[in-house]
Amino acid sequence: MSFHSVQVDAAPDLGAPEDPELGPQVLEQKGVRGYFARHSMTAYVTRRFALYVFTLWAAISATFIFFRLIPGDPISAYIQNLRSQYAENASASAAVINHYKAVFGLDGGLLSQYGHFISQLVLHRNFGPSLLEYPTPAQDVVAHALPWTIGLLFTSAIIAWVIGTLLGAFAGWRRNSKISEAATWFSVGMAPVPFYFIALVMVFLLAYKLTIFPASEPFSANVHQGFNLPFIGSVLDHAILPAFSIVFVTALAALLGMRQQMVSVLGEDYLTFAQAKGLTPRRILTRYAMANCYLPQVTALAISFGAIFAGNVLIEELFQYPGVGYTLVKAIGVLDLNTVMCVSVLAIFGVLTAVFILDLLMPLLDPRIKYTR
């Protein structure tokens, strides 16, 4: 009896797939398509990034076209502004008008203006000069206002999210208590109230009637600007009313959202199992119940971070706060398209970037979410 040796060819090395449950058809695919089929996380990140870039381009392009179709001549408004400042009554010559149109990127047709805008934005990160503070670039004008908006809205968003999430978790966990019911009904009644209405009430009561807080401006005129205690104290004092009007409504909305999520998980099997193990109610609340409820809250927080770059127009206008929203209102008033586009692009970039980062982090925050095709 003889034995014949059989030679078996080694299977080709297709790379270590990220998903061990991939079928043989997927493993046999070659090229870029096969690589992405075997590496689901890389494919997920690539698709999300491509969608992010396309959406960013489409939103910026649509915004550019929209503002260019608004009736009105920014150059005529600028010339009129020069006349009012320098008491110049002579009509501007065609050469001067053409010069300023070229400077502000308004010469040529719409397609030519769009090409000039995109090239300046991508290659030089330049939005052109600002009508508000000519010849200062629009990005410098917005950069000067951005710290005020970030300081006010970022802090307010964090405080409102923490307060609303904690109170919402308690209201959902103790949903049958009188305190929880009172907080829920109060939130239902007050959350739809516009924040600027709360701001007007606070200004009337605390600024004009009781004169506890200042009604407007970012700091007192009699303090020296700089990193010193008087200036920092004045900035905090002037920021209390606008911050409170934002925190009040935002925290109530976060409370209702967290309470709804908390009520939906009560009675789940994993909570019953945790109780059977003898865990304390506090540990069950923080380590089990809240851990499965905070993802929608994190999503809302991330989007609010992105929207910070647009500024809170009504709040900043009401309190004369020199943030991005206040700058946007002034720019629209004089048809300063470059500054308006700078604020709009910054807002679009902030929101889309926040959503993109959130898409990448969601599978890490929640194991139930996977990087799938």
CA dist 32 and 370 (Å) reads: 21
What is the model's pLDDT at position 58? 92
Domain end marker among 65, 92, 124: 124
**Cα 103–chain centre separation:** 31
Same domain membership, residue 82 and residue 208: no
C-alpha torsion angle, residues 112, 115, 116, 119 (rounded to 10) = -170
pTM of the full predicted structure? 0.74
Stretch 133-152: mean pLDDT, rounded?
85
What band does 361 get if pLDDT is binned at 50, 70 and 90? confident
Same domain membership, residue 148 and residue 116: no
Domain end marker among 90, 124, 158: 124
Same domain membership, residue 286 and residue 322: yes
* 147 assigned to some structural domain: yes
Same domain membership, residue 145 and residue 97: no
* 1 assigned to some structural domain: no
Same domain membership, residue 143 and residue 223: yes
Give the length of the chain: 373
Residue 38 has pLDDT above 80, yes or no: no
Same domain membership, residue 269 and residue 191: yes
**Matching residue, tokens 């706060």:** 321
Q: Output the six-digit token pair for 238.
A: 């002037």
Same domain membership, residue 313 and residue 349: yes
What band does 10 get if pLDDT is binned at 50, 70 and 90? very low
Q: Output the six-digit token pair for 16.
A: 């270590």
What is the model's pLDDT at position 15? 45
Same domain membership, residue 95 and residue 163: no
* 10 assigned to some structural domain: no
What band does 54 get if pLDDT is binned at 50, 70 and 90? very high
What band does 85 get if pLDDT is binned at 50, 70 and 90? low
Same domain membership, residue 195 and residue 100: no
DSSP labels, 320-341: T--SHHHHHHHHHHTT-HHHHH
* Residue of higher predicted confidence among 242 and 3: 242
**Most confident option among 108-117, 241-250, 272-281:** 241-250
* 8 assigned to some structural domain: no
**Domain around 146:** 138-365
Q: Output the six-digit token pair for 257.
A: 């959202």
* Residue of higher predicted confidence among 29 and 208: 208
Residue 163 has pLDDT above 50, yes or no: yes
Same domain membership, residue 204 and residue 318: yes
**Cα 66–chain centre separation:** 21
* Residue of higher predicted confidence among 84 and 291: 291
78 CB neighbour count, 10 Å cutoff: 21
| Number of folded domains that form the chain | 2
What is the model's pLDDT at position 16? 45
* Mean pLDDT, the chain, integer: 76
C-alpha gyration radius of the chain? 28
* 27 assigned to some structural domain: no
What band does 237 get if pLDDT is binned at 50, 70 and 90? confident
* 132 assigned to some structural domain: no
Residue 292 has pLDDT above 60, yes or no: yes
What is the percent of the chain with per-residue pLDDT over 90, rounded to a whole number?
A: 2
Q: DSSP 3-state assignment of 191?
A: coil
Residue 260 has pLDDT above 60, yes or no: yes
Q: Output the six-digit token pair for 282.
A: 């506090």
What is the model's pLDDT at position 33? 62
What is the model's pLDDT at position 302? 76
* Residue of higher predicted confidence among 29 and 356: 356
CA dist 58 and 349 (Å) reads: 12
C-alpha torsion angle, residues 341, 344, 348, 349 (rounded to 10) = 60
* 325 assigned to some structural domain: yes
Same domain membership, residue 277 and residue 194: yes
What is the model's pLDDT at position 75? 74
What is the model's pLDDT at position 309? 65
pLDDT digits (tens, 9 = 90+) for 303-359: 777 666 665 778 888 888 888 888 888 888 878 888 888 888 888 888 888 888 877
Residue 365 has pLDDT above 50, yes or no: yes
**Matching residue, tokens 């689901």:** 40
Same domain membership, residue 218 and residue 82: no
* 65 assigned to some structural domain: yes
Contact status, residue 341 vs residue 67, Cβ threshold 8 Å: yes
* Residue of higher predicted confidence among 106 and 245: 245
Contact status, residue 281 vs residue 177, Cβ threshold 8 Å: no
Q: Output the six-digit token pair for 218.
A: 């970012």
What CATH number is given to the structural domain containing 211?
1.10.3720.10
**Span of 51-65, 193-207, 294-308 with lowest mean pLDDT:** 294-308
Residue 131 has pLDDT above 70, yes or no: yes
